Amino acid sequence: MQQRIGRRTRPAAQPSPVAAGWKETSPIGRRSSEGRPQLRPTWETLEAWARGRIQEFVQELLEETVPELLGRPRHERRGGIDAPVGYRNGYGKPRRLAMQTGTLVLRRPRGRSLEEHFESRVLPLFARCTERVAKLLPELYRHGLAQGDFELALRGLLGDGAPVSAKSIERLRATFVREDEAWTTR
């Protein structure tokens, strides 16, 4: 009869593994981490790791909205005549969403032949930034951030992929000026 210790087997007549010079390894120690991405972040990769996890989470939330709408899981046929109509229709173009943790790139699932127009409650059609980021922009302007500095500041806060253009900054600035004038003349 042979005994299994770690990855090696030995006949029952041999001395104990420790006496033979073998190290008994736990199941965790037997696994090799070579060739696999790190599951735990380091200090240097913490922010990118967190942003990636948030992106995965939001993408999963978007994916869950379609089965709720269709009334059936992915790859399952419609259950009969009275079943809700509609089909999955792939994904839309990748979109950037600016959040306080940085900019995420998401793909919205699409549906076709639906009885009603499908719009995700998680990510509305034309949303490019969260409400907190939208509230941050006027505060930055009111605290003295100049129009020319907006792009640089937002790229630093939201990442290089931030969906902010010169026209959108000018539009926001005009809105801020109107709001400030209305507030000061009240």
Same domain, 100 and 90: yes
Domain of 75 in residue numbering reads as 39-128
Contact 41, 49 (CB under 8 A): yes
Q: How many helices (H) and strands (E) does the chain have?
A: 5, 6
**115 and 54 share one domain:** yes
Average model confidence (pLDDT) for the chain?
A: 77
What is the number of domains present in the chain? Answer: 2
106 and 141 belong to one structural domain: no
Q: Which two tokens stand for residue 48?
A: 């990118």
Is position 17 within any domain?
no
pTM across the whole model: 0.65
Q: What is the pLDDT of residues 52-77, one digit of tens each?
A: 999 999 999 999 988 888 888 888 88
How many CB atoms lie under 10 A from the CB of residue 177? 11
The one-letter amino acid code at 69 reads L
Q: Give the helix/strand (H/E) hosting 168.
A: helix 166-184
pLDDT tens column, 2-47: 555 555 555 555 555 455 555 555 455 445 445 555 578 899 999 8
Strand 95-99 to strand 102-106: parallel, antiparallel, or no bridges (unpaired)? antiparallel
Helix (H, G, I), strand (E, B) or coil at 5: strand
